[in-house]
Amino acid sequence: MKTNEIMSRLQVKYPGEKEYLQAVQEVLESIEEVYNRHPEFEAAKIVERIVEPDRIFTFRVTWIDDRGEVQTNTGYRVQFNSAIGPYKGGLRFHRAVTPSMLKFLGFEQTFKNALTTLPMGGAKGGSDFNPVGKSDAEIMRFCQAFMWELWQCIGPDQDIPAGDVGVGSREIGYLYGMYKKLAREYNTGVLTGKGSTWGGSILRPEATGFGALYFTQHLLDKAGKTLVGKKIAISGFGNVAWGAATKATQLGAKVIAISGPDGVCHIPDGITPEMIAYMLEMRASNSDRVADMATRFPDKAQFTPGKKAWSIPCDIALPCAFQNELSEEDAVELKKNGCWCCCEVSNMGCQPGAIHYFQHNGVLFAPGKAVNAGGVATSGLEMTQNASHISWSAEEVDSKLHYIMKSIHEQCVRFGTQPDGTVDYVKGANIAGFMKVAQAMLEQGIV
């Protein structure tokens, strides 16, 4: 296969699907060489098949806002690939959601899930519903209306959604409540990220951020460094940023910045447990404003409007917000200010130019599909607990999460070690994920 030829075909077929084409290009560039050593992949047209979702459901979601006005949004579920297990992946509620965004996320999810060591296929879904400024009652009515359509596409052995941007445990609660009413099925395994008293796994809320820091520890260890005393800049203040800030602080690092769409909060002495707890309140308020942190803790945090987390000098950058949030310009500024490591926690958080810059200027870099896989891995652990009607302790879940992140790091090293001994984590993650899915597709014939 030739990446350029496949990309040209996809560009004609899916013009304007920017995020999807970007995600596919990154994976194909990484795997081309290995792929071409396997004529059996070529014969079964694995690449042509793996870049296409199995199916996409699109549906209208109509609901009534607090003023009594009728509102209409669009809902989607992209079932991308089921070669290694049932469809699995989150739901994103954000005003910018498009089929392109969900296709990129479903494609990434397929390889990420393969890295977790657990049997899960890839999927993603969501809606262009904008949660910013919505009341709790509006969120509930929207979730119920969304599930009215979605329930027919999902099931505990078929497709298991979870949260993503704009969907946390509150939304999963409303979605699950409606699913039960419609399906008359009381198997908790249909969604993950549930509340801990009704089937949710302990540590699932923390898992993406915790897993990201465990991965970072392994990466630093391999490079002969440690987290202790390091300054960390985090973008975002949602669920993922919260988990990352919690674990980074526990492990002895200092989180000196968090950010939002309105600007950045500089926290020179490092974030405190009270401030970390306040991140949850900020997320629950649906105001999408990080400035509130500086208002609440004026002695500790200084807010600068319009600036990103990447403007604050740090050792390690952890993008935890949204795709393409870190540009090449940001990468240059980070490096100039002393940053020497970037672990991508958001899905495709770094633009291709930023990754290229990091990799060619001595900045350690690891991609989201490896770094953030602890979230979906713990969803997989939640599915296991649901299927066997048991509940594991925090210690049990944490040790399994630890083991999984170690294994993901090992897979990256195995497939990504370069002739000079350094590790290309992008290549490593993409090849490891791809080989597993491709091999499964091959063994299951032309379907």
Catalytic residues: 124
Task: Tell me which stretch binds ligand 2IT (CB under 6 A): 86-94, 128-136, 178-186, 282-290.
Answer: 86-94
* Residue placing its CB nearer to ligand 2IT in the complex, 33 or 157: 157
Q: Nearest approach, Cβ of 115 to ligand 2IT (angstroms)?
A: 11
Contact track, ligand 2IT, 314-353, x by CB under 6 A: ---------------------------------x------
Q: Based on the shown chain and the rule CB under 6 A, indicate whether residue 90 belongs to the binding site for ligand 2IT.
A: yes
Bridge-based pairing of strands 302-305 and 364-366 is unpaired
The only residue of 53, 85, 89, 238 in contact with ligand 2IT, by rule CB under 6 A: 89
Q: Nearest approach, Cβ of 379 to ligand 2IT (angstroms)?
A: 3
Site for ligand 2IT in 175-214 (CB under 6 A): 192
Q: Nearest approach, Cβ of 369 to ligand 2IT (angstroms)?
A: 8
* Residue placing its CB nearer to ligand 2IT in the complex, 234 or 293: 234
Q: Based on the shown chain and the rule CB under 6 A, indicate whether residue 164 belongs to the binding site for ligand 2IT.
A: yes
Q: Nearest approach, Cβ of 291 to ligand 2IT (angstroms)?
A: 26
* Residue placing its CB nearer to ligand 2IT in the complex, 191 or 339: 191
* Residue placing its CB nearer to ligand 2IT in the complex, 109 or 188: 109
Q: Based on the shown chain and the rule CB under 6 A, indicate whether residue 218 belongs to the binding site for ligand 2IT.
A: no
CA 428 to chain centre: 18
Cβ–Cβ < 8 Å for 385, 394: no
Cβ–Cβ < 8 Å for 317, 248: no
Cβ–Cβ < 8 Å for 357, 332: yes
Q: Nearest approach, Cβ of 88 to ligand 2IT (angstroms)?
A: 5
What letter does residue 200 receive in the DSSP assignment?
Answer: P
Alpha-carbon gap, residue 205 to 201, rounded angstroms? 9
Alpha-carbon gap, residue 184 to 287, rounded angstroms? 35
Q: Nearest approach, Cβ of 162 to ligand 2IT (angstroms)?
A: 3
* Residue placing its CB nearer to ligand 2IT in the complex, 245 or 345: 345
The helix/strand/coil state of 310 is helix
* Residue placing its CB nearer to ligand 2IT in the complex, 164 or 206: 164
Site for ligand 2IT in 369-408 (CB under 6 A): 375-376, 379
Cβ–Cβ < 8 Å for 61, 72: yes
Q: Nearest approach, Cβ of 375 to ligand 2IT (angstroms)?
A: 4
How many other β-carbons are positioned within 10 Å of the β-carbon of residue 277?
A: 11
The residue with its CB nearest to ligand 2IT is 90
Total residues interacting with ligand 2IT, rule: CB under 6 A: 11
Q: Based on the shown chain and the rule CB under 6 A, indicate whether residue 162 belongs to the binding site for ligand 2IT.
A: yes
How many other β-carbons are positioned within 10 Å of the β-carbon of residue 443?
A: 8
Q: Based on the shown chain and the rule CB under 6 A, indicate whether residue 301 belongs to the binding site for ligand 2IT.
A: no
* Residue placing its CB nearer to ligand 2IT in the complex, 161 or 260: 161
Task: Tell me which stretch binds ligand 2IT (CB under 6 A): 8-16, 82-90, 146-154, 398-406.
Answer: 82-90
Cβ–Cβ < 8 Å for 237, 246: no
Q: Nearest approach, Cβ of 347 to ligand 2IT (angstroms)?
A: 5
User: Residue 4 to residues 26, 29, 255: CA-CA distances in angstroms?
Assistant: 12, 9, 41
Task: Tell me which stretch binds ligand 2IT (CB under 6 A): 2-10, 88-96, 133-141, 172-180.
Answer: 88-96
Alpha-carbon gap, residue 142 to 62, rounded angstroms? 8
The only residue of 51, 86, 88, 203 in contact with ligand 2IT, by rule CB under 6 A: 88
Describe the chain by its helix, strand, coil percentages, rounded to 5: 50, 15, 35
Residues 6+ apart with CB under 8 A from 202: 196, 391, 392, 393, 394, 397
What letter does residue 265 receive in the DSSP assignment?
Answer: E
* Residue placing its CB nearer to ligand 2IT in the complex, 53 or 375: 375
Residue-wise burial string across 86-120, b where 16 or more C-beta atoms lie within 10 A, e elsewhere: bbbbbbbbbeebbbbbbbbbbbbbbbbbbbbbbeb
User: Residue 223 to residues 69, 87, 383: CA-CA distances in angstroms?
Assistant: 57, 35, 35
Q: Which residues bind ligand 2IT (CB under 6 A)?
A: 88-90, 109, 162, 164, 192, 347, 375-376, 379
